[in-house]
Every structure is written in C-alpha cells, then in structure tokens.
Amino acid sequence: MGAADVCTARPTNGERVRSVVAAAGSLMVVTDRHSCELAGLHSLDARGRLCLRVPDDCALAAEVALAPRGIVAARLKFTDIAPTAARDRVRARVTLSGWLGPAGPVSETPGVDVRLDIAHAELVTAEGTVTVGLDELTLAEADPLAVHEADMLTHLVDVHSDEVGLLTRLVAPRLMQGVLRVLPLAMDRYGITLRLEHAHAQHDVRLPFAAPLGDAAEAGDRVRTLLTAARACPRRHRSPIRP
C-alpha cells in the first residue's frame, strides 16, 4: 500500500461535533441558575437542534417550564474520552450554546422533552479551538463508526493486542524511538489513530485507510488491509510493549 493508495481525508469539524454528540453517554447542562449532568436521551436532529429528555425531578425541567418567555439560555457540554486506557484520554470537548425550550406536546411518559436551538458550536481538540458554523453543523453527519468505535477499539486491545503492535510497522522508525506502549486511540471512516507513549510524553500517529468506509460493517476489512500492508513491511524497530 503506497502513498497514492491511501485516503488522506479527515472528518470535518462539523462531522466531529456530530460524532461526539452521537457517541456521548452523558452531557452537562449549564444555565444561569443550574448545572446538571444528564445521561443519554439526547439527539441532534437534521436541522441542527439538540433534543433532550429531562427527568421531571430535575431543576432544569422546572426552570424551562417557568421561564418568562418559555426559553432559557443554556450551554450543553460534551466530552469525548478515548475508550482505551491511554494517557490524556480526553480527545475532544464540544460546547453547544443557545436557547432551551419545550419540544412538542406534553408527553404522558415521565420526563420533559426540551430542545436546544443552537446559536454557537465550539469544538476543542489537541489542534486548538474552533467555532463550527451552523450551516456546516446542519449539513454534516456523524461518522458511521461513532457509536461503534468504543466497542471496536476495546475489542482490538483485549483480543488482538499483537495486531496493534504489528500496525507499528507502518509508523516511521524515527517516531518509534523510545516508545514504551502503543494503544489504538481513535478510529473513524478515514483511518485509525495510534497513541505512542514514551516515558514522559506521548504523540499520535494516524494510519489512513485505503478508502473511506461507508458503514461500520466495512471496518474489519479496512483494518485487515492495514495489517496486510504491515506484514509486508520489514521489522524496522523493536516492538513496543503492547496494551
């Protein structure tokens, strides 16, 4: 697999925000009066509005219900954490700011449905902080691996740790000098990222797939293609300690 045989594309900032929100198990809601952590029951619709189910006994439900104009200024915070036991596991933070208000008719089931009309979206990663335009966010889609990535990476570590070490043959030898441990840090439709840990530092290396995948079912074939390429490479460095 040569340089011309790989996909150099990466997720857009809009896709990254969508993916973080889709995969998040919980989020923090912050208003002028309250802050609370809510687990699950949120989604980002096609129009870029975040829908949220709030328990009846949560102070946020009462704040929205009693708001003078029916809306409450709020920030919703999401943290993207690597599923593997790497150092510095926080991969990204997303903050969606806007106005919370009731969403649709009152339901007979417990809880209150509220909707955040987003005015500002911010993405923080190791590369820096960026504002994601609302048009970009509306047009973007979550990565097809977003809700499957955690299971895939933990399976790779728990069952195929030798193959993680094998993938390092695709890493430039100069980057492997002094590496003590290698872990898969992230995977999206365009490639897999390895975390190379040294004694007092770490850095990440991205191994691109030959072509972007269309759905999660194609991930195994893409990883096997990388492994085939790795086996064809000579052993250029001492294998690091695996997970």
What is the CATH classification number for the domain harbouring 223?
3.20.180.10
**Residue 143 CA: distances (Å) to CA of 16, 38, 102, 185:** 8, 23, 29, 16
Question: Could you give the 3-state DSSP secondary structure of residue 90?
Answer: strand
Counting residues of the chain whose pLDDT is more than 90, the rounded percentage is 73
Q: Give the residue from 11, 8, 6 showing the smallest Cα distance to 143.
A: 11
How far apart are alpha carbons 1 and 150 in whole angstroms?
Answer: 27
Question: Could you give the 3-state DSSP secondary structure of residue 64?
Answer: helix
- Is the model's pLDDT at 198 over the cut of 50? yes
Tell which of 111, 139, 167 closes a domain.
139
116 compared with 45, residue with greater pLDDT: 116
Give the CATH number of the domain where residue 66 resides. Answer: 2.30.110.10
Residue with tokens 């100069």: 174
Name every residue whose Cβ is closer than 8 Å to that of residue 121 and which is 6 or more positions away in sequence: 17, 94, 95, 96, 97, 131, 132, 133, 134, 137
Same-domain pairing of 133 and 170: no
Tell me what pLDDT residue 107 has: 58
The tally of domains found in the chain comes to 2
| For range 226-242, the mean pLDDT | 77
Same-domain pairing of 126 and 22: yes
Query: Which domain range does residue 206 map to?
Result: 147-231
Same-domain pairing of 178 and 219: yes
Tell me what pLDDT residue 110 has: 73
Over residues 4-55, the pLDDT tens digits come to: 455 678 999 999 999 999 999 999 999 999 899 998 779 888 777 899 988 8
Sign of the torsion angle spanned by Cα atoms 72, 73, 76, 77: negative
How far apart are alpha carbons 127 and 91 in whole angstroms?
Answer: 10
Tell which of 119, 139, 159 closes a domain.
139
Per the domain annotation, does 241 fall within a domain?
no
Same-domain pairing of 25 and 113: yes
Query: What pTM did the predictor assign?
Result: 0.89
